[in-house]
Amino acid sequence: LTPTAIVKGVTAARIDRDEPVRQRSLRTHNLGLVLRHVAASPGPVSRADVAGATGLTKATVSTLVDELLGGGLLVEVAPPPRTGAGRPAVGLRVAAQGPAGLGLEVNVDYLAAAVLDLTGARRQHTLRRGDQRGRSPEAVLDDLAELAGDTVRAAADDGLRVVGAAVAVPGLIADGVVRLAPNLDWRDVPLAAALTDRSARVGVALDEQTLTVDNEANLAALAELHASAQPRPSFLYISGEIGAGIVLEGRLLRGARGYGGELGHVTIRPDGVPCRCGARGCLEAYANQDVLLRGAGLDPSAPADALTRLIALARAGAHPALLTLEDVGSALGVAAADVVNLLDLDTVVLGGIYAPLARWLIAPVAREITERTMTSDWAPVTVRASALGTSATVVGAAGSVVRAIRDAPAPWLPLLAG
Ligand SMILES: [Zn+2]
């Protein structure tokens, strides 16, 4: 056997064991291919352009485009004025009016909702402040459904039809159930089922396809990933709840069972203070919002006002504020250095409440990483604020719905036809 024959034999064997590509999955795949190509194009593209770029026949492209037009996912744009010989082609672009994605966020200090249209533009964003700690999950979800309903109606007035939702929660999530959210004091809350029951109030038919629940840091990291100009970025995103979204070469690392990224419970002092999780010396106990605000002499019960005051104090050079920012930055840096040592990430992104404080946090975070990573001399790490600021999570949640539709439009088309 020649080497080529061996390789061919292996390939053939693999194909035999795999599922054959059926007509239906071919259509599903190609619908996504066409929609993604139009979405990625800077301007309107013709059917012939799509055929040329994807390798599909013009007839196939026309059939697929008709389906996408029928679902309102694409729109036709009038051709440019005739300049030369031949008839100018009708252009296609992703619909800015029509199907849209809803993002929802349950945070310790607020509930938030956002709507992105299919082009990824932010069309709605509402934040309702209020301490969610100690409230029953049912009461929180009633409020969340009401906020979602208001946002969906506002989006409808703006010409959008919300067809799916994603909810961000600061906790461990599996199959739509919040296993544990220590800062909310939630355990085994069937969030997807509870919100599905509230579909009428939300104004969207929620089910297993149209509703997902995910960890807040993962959704924020995905938003950061898709906002990145780099093709395959690697970074550690730190959320305000001290969750980590770890992106390695353009892919989010969720962990083997989906529970990865608990940066807040990385040990930074083995004999340190007790943590809510039951362990001692976790990062969270040295760097969370309460620690930060109390350290600066501020009242953490009104965190939004306190955060504004903290920024004012830091700008004025008040020593307690600067010292606590230095301590919190140092604690974040110690934990981030471990992650950098393990995964060789080149960037650390400060998100959530840390984003508006980045001016004071970047130096201590970067210092600890430089001192504690072996590679810092020739592979330095960039520490920066999130490009999306404090809204990264809810925008990321809405964006995950939009990407789900754009990546695999086929299962959404029957919903859109109704
Ligand atoms: Zn802990």
Q: State the distance from the centre of ligand 1 to the C-alpha of 173, rounded, in angstroms.
A: 17
Q: State the distance from the centre of ligand 1 to the C-alpha of 383, rounded, in angstroms.
A: 24
Q: State the distance from the centre of ligand 1 to the C-alpha of 218, rounded, in angstroms.
A: 19
Q: State the distance from the centre of ligand 1 to the C-alpha of 276, rounded, in angstroms.
A: 6
Q: State the distance from the centre of ligand 1 to the C-alpha of 415, rounded, in angstroms.
A: 43
Q: State the distance from the centre of ligand 1 to the C-alpha of 332, rounded, in angstroms.
A: 14
Amino acid, res. 175: D
Q: State the distance from the centre of ligand 1 to the C-alpha of 372, rounded, in angstroms.
A: 22
Q: State the distance from the centre of ligand 1 to the C-alpha of 282, rounded, in angstroms.
A: 5
Res 84: pLDDT: 65
Task: Tell me the pLDDT of the chain (418 aa) as tens digits.
Answer: 333 333 333 333 344 455 666 777 899 999 999 999 999 999 999 999 999 999 999 999 999 999 999 999 999 998 766 666 666 778 999 999 999 999 999 999 999 999 999 999 999 999 999 999 989 999 999 999 999 999 999 999 999 999 999 999 999 999 999 999 988 999 999 999 999 999 999 999 999 999 999 999 999 999 999 988 898 999 999 999 999 999 999 999 999 999 999 999 999 999 999 998 889 999 999 999 999 999 999 998 888 889 999 999 999 999 999 999 999 999 999 999 999 999 999 999 999 999 999 999 999 999 999 999 988 888 999 999 998 888 999 999 999 999 999 999 999 999 988 6
Q: State the distance from the centre of ligand 1 to the C-alpha of 283, rounded, in angstroms.
A: 7
Q: State the distance from the centre of ligand 1 to the C-alpha of 180, rounded, in angstroms.
A: 12
Q: State the distance from the centre of ligand 1 to the C-alpha of 84, rounded, in angstroms.
A: 69
Q: State the distance from the centre of ligand 1 to the C-alpha of 199, rounded, in angstroms.
A: 35
pTM over 0.85: yes
Res 52: pLDDT: 95
Q: State the distance from the centre of ligand 1 to the C-alpha of 271, rounded, in angstroms.
A: 13
Q: State the distance from the centre of ligand 1 to the C-alpha of 287, rounded, in angstroms.
A: 12
Q: State the distance from the centre of ligand 1 to the C-alpha of 260, rounded, in angstroms.
A: 14
Q: State the distance from the centre of ligand 1 to the C-alpha of 336, rounded, in angstroms.
A: 16
Q: State the distance from the centre of ligand 1 to the C-alpha of 267, rounded, in angstroms.
A: 8
Q: State the distance from the centre of ligand 1 to the C-alpha of 324, rounded, in angstroms.
A: 20
Q: State the distance from the centre of ligand 1 to the C-alpha of 241, rounded, in angstroms.
A: 12
Q: State the distance from the centre of ligand 1 to the C-alpha of 263, rounded, in angstroms.
A: 9
Q: State the distance from the centre of ligand 1 to the C-alpha of 285, rounded, in angstroms.
A: 7
User: Distance between CA 248 and CA 255 in Å, rounded?
Assistant: 12
